Chain A
């Protein structure tokens, strides 16, 4: 899915969480959003998903202006923030069934895929457990399983590598994300882990005080940096120094 952000502005009180953010993200890319706490990463993800309406600017998906009421477009994206979208008193299976119904993906031909994903994420023995009784990482896996089973065109992930996933879960997430990108899906995630961003992204967008400071491939960012080995580290250091 082609994502185009045009002049997004969002303010919370006197703080500009998003300050004229314009980006174009082509299909088949894994994009990571980097930035200090409060830089606007989550706000940007929520704005793309329609949970937050921008004060100015807009989001175009595949060339169509996106509105929250556009259910067809909303069914083509999936926002995995944490386990808050799940139903704690219902079992893992019921949660998957409910979410897949919402995405119109609860078809018989999808069952094998769901089963395979559950097996990959170690969810099979937990299938009958209420989500509320699971650990944070396990609950996140349920959401991740729903995302993988729904196979949306646009993945929006908020701090997926700080959600309590175990190594197997992280590995599955990375593998599926790469495969999805190869199929033309667009994956946008936020993270604070520079090492992860350097290894698991086609493009890195650095947000600073609501503005896009840089958004390019890692190769380009590396070329620009004096420290070739740690371009992102260097960029963050400079941003902190300039802010100070």
Chain B
């Protein structure tokens, strides 16, 4: 089923084209729109490739690595990254579609279910193709036989079906509360259980496991293999390597199970829609009135909002002890600026809480590494790293909200401060930049999280020394900080600041440069290459230069959208 009639749309398109071609004025307007839209379409298409590109590149790199190392933790990391991103993307899309739009239109819950499926299957198929295509490289390098290829293809097909169905199920079951925290919790929880499972497996393969423990562990592992998505890639690869079909069977049953429970989800949706209709305050009048009166800034005699008065726009000041301590570092004006830039207030303590919540598990796993076998360390850290990677991947999609500002920390914070917005308010670049820098530094603990991920990758590549891993963590932290600041101007580039035909190519070239640099620098830093210091220095220097150059343009009013356009366009 489609959500629309392709024949109707096709016929309408033909008639629209004929009408446009028949009128010179429409033709001219159409050409103007198409000209602008062409670059937008190119940017969107190429941008998407850039976003997903690393997904395709990693398997290729792994495939290159395969002749030298058997498929191991790094392969699993990629699988986890794919599955996490895949899952979160589809789920976020499902939630966005369900909660925002469909209730407006006349459709029953059963119809919503069908339309969900019609909407999501394309996205699910894309990820299926990405996973299948990317791992072709692995198969090629691993010398798979025809049965192994077929088993893999069937597994990917079923995995696609399973994830799409599961996402529809979740979207239908929890429509008002589709939040990334639950996704994150599922991914982390599954990762933790996988770690426990792996440790149990290690115990099982000890020379002399206790006789009473062996059957318990065997049964327990079998159940866990069925239950844990994070365990499936491992099992698939292990099975497929031998040309076995068990992975497909494992997938088939949960897929059928999810599909069988979709009617239950539909009933849940009916109840949820009923609750939403009963209690959803679309426009709570009292809140709207209160907000409008609180947000009214004082005006001068002429009735205009003066620049200093903008600070009175009803910002909430965090009242926690930790927030008050942190805010001592900011001047009064910087505090006001921070409150204005990050409404409804800086809430630095809240950011730390989020950071520690997310970093805690990784750190605990890191500490536990000292007590696990060397092989286990790889798995632990790679699992953590892959989970971070999955979240990082989701963060770049507009529909994914897995990474919030506090979690992204220094890497993501610059992205949330929209400089052009303030260019007309008479705020100096230097004070704005200084405030951002302080705000970023305060959130430095987030780098522990990124550092642990880097350390995980390092362990996966065979560097098992704790100090070395700590060094990686520090270097990766600095690298992320530098890259975060360095790419800031790129994130704020807007088409009305650059001549439109040059906009897309210039941004894409810059993006390609940044991405290429990121990949090379990360590899150099992670592998402990002798040139890693230079890469780091270059990243920080680039950040400094970009900051200076952007500031210069800013202070010259280059981003003031009220000024006359250069070149008269």
Report which A residues bind B (CB closer than 8 A): 12-15, 17, 37-40, 42-43, 46, 50-53, 68-69, 71, 74-75, 79, 81, 84-87, 93-94, 96-103, 106-108, 111-112, 114-115, 118-119, 124-129, 133
Chain B positions near chain A (C-beta within 8 angstroms): 3-5, 8-9, 11-13, 15-16, 19-20, 26, 29-30, 32-34, 37, 40, 100-101, 103-108, 273, 277-278, 280-289, 292
Counting chain B CB atoms within 10 Å of each CB, which of A79, A112, A128 scores highest?
A: A128
CB within 8 Å for A71 and B4 given contacts A46-B282, A114-B12: no
Whether A124 pairs with B8 at a CB distance below 8 angstroms is: no
> Does A94 lie within 8 Å of B286, measured CB to CB?
no
From the candidates B33, B104, B108, B286, name the one contacting A38 in the complex (CB within 8 A).
B286
Report yes or no: B101 in contact with A52, Cβ–Cβ below 8 A. Answer: no
Contact among A13, A14, A17, A71 with B107 in the assembled complex (CB-CB below 8 Å): A71
Report B41 CB to chain A, min CB distance, Å: 9
CB distance from B59 to the nearest CB of A (A): 28
Which residues of A sit under 8 angstroms from B37, Cβ to Cβ?
Answer: 128-129, 133
Q: Which residues of A are found within 8 Å of B13, using beta-carbon distances?
A: 93, 127-128
- Residue of B107, B283, B285, B289 near A102 (CB, 8 A) is B107
Q: Which residues of B contact A114 (CB under 8 A)?
A: 12
B466 → chain A, closest Cβ, in Å? Answer: 47
Which residues of B are found within 8 Å of A46, using beta-carbon distances?
A: 282
Residues of B within 8 A of A102 (CB): 105-107
Number of A-B contacts (CB under 8 A): 122
| B282 interface neighbour in A50, A51, A115, A126, Cβ under 8 Å | A51
Q: Besides the contacts A107-B8, A125-B29, what 16 more A-B pairs have beta carbons closer than 8 Å?
A: A38-B289, A43-B283, A51-B103, A84-B101, A93-B9, A93-B12, A98-B4, A101-B8, A103-B106, A112-B15, A114-B12, A118-B16, A125-B26, A127-B20, A129-B33, A133-B40
Closest CB in chain B relative to A37 CB, distance in Å? 6
Minimum Cβ distance to chain A for residue B105 (Å): 5
Compute how far the CA of A124 lies from the CA of B31 in the bound complex, rounded to whole angstroms.
12
B277 touches A71 (CB 8 A): no
5 contacts between A and B (CB under 8 A): A12-B287, A43-B285, A106-B8, A111-B15, A127-B16
Q: Do A69 and B108 contact each other (CB < 8 Å), given the known contacts A53-B278, A93-B9, A133-B37?
A: yes
Closest to B107 in A: A102
Complex: how many Å from CA A118 to CA B16?
Answer: 9
Complex CA distance for A112 and B33, rounded to whole angstroms: 24
Question: B104 and A108: CB pair below 8 A?
Answer: no
Q: Chain A residues near B26 (CB, 8 Å)?
A: 124-125
B284 partner, pick from A12, A84, A99, beta carbons under 8 A: A12
Contact of B280 among A52, A69, A119 (CB under 8 A): A52
CA distance A96 to B32 in the complex (A): 23
Known A-B contacts A51-B104, A52-B277, A53-B277; A17 and B285 likewise in contact (beta carbons under 8 Å)? yes
Q: Give, as a whole number of angstroms, the nearest-CB distance from A134 to chain B.
A: 10
**Minimum Cβ distance to chain A for residue B300 (Å):** 24
Closest to B399 in A: A89
Across the interface, do B30 and A50 meet the contact criterion of CB distance under 8 Å?
no
State in angstroms the CA–CA spacing of A126 and B36 once bound together: 12
The interface residues of chain A lying within 8 Å CB-to-CB of B101 are 84-87
Q: In whole Å, how far is B532's beta carbon from the nearest beta carbon of chain A?
A: 40
A13 contacts B11, C-beta separation under 8 Å: no
In the complex, the 4 A-B pairs of residues with the closest C-beta atoms, listed nearest first: A38-B285, A74-B106, A97-B4, A85-B104
Whether the Cβ atoms of A111 and B11 lie closer than 8 Å is yes
> CB distance B288 to A94 under 8 Å?
no
Cross-chain contact A15 with B107 (CB below 8 angstroms): no
Give every chain A residue within 8 A of B3 (Cβ-Cβ): 98, 101
| Interchain CB contact (< 8 A) of B9 among A79, A97, A133 | A97
Q: Is there contact, CB below 8 Å, between A71 and B108?
A: yes
The minimal Cβ–Cβ distance linking A227 to chain B, given in whole angstroms, is 27
Q: How far is the CA of A125 from the CA of B35 in the complex (A)?
A: 12
Measured CB to CB, the closest approach of chain A to B37, in angstroms, equals 6
For A84, the closest partner residue in chain B by CB is B100
Chain A's closest residue to B18 (CB) is: A115
Closest chain B CB from A187 CB (angstroms): 18
In contact, B282 and A42 (Cβ under 8 angstroms): yes
Chain B residues contacting A14 (CB-CB under 8 Å) are 286
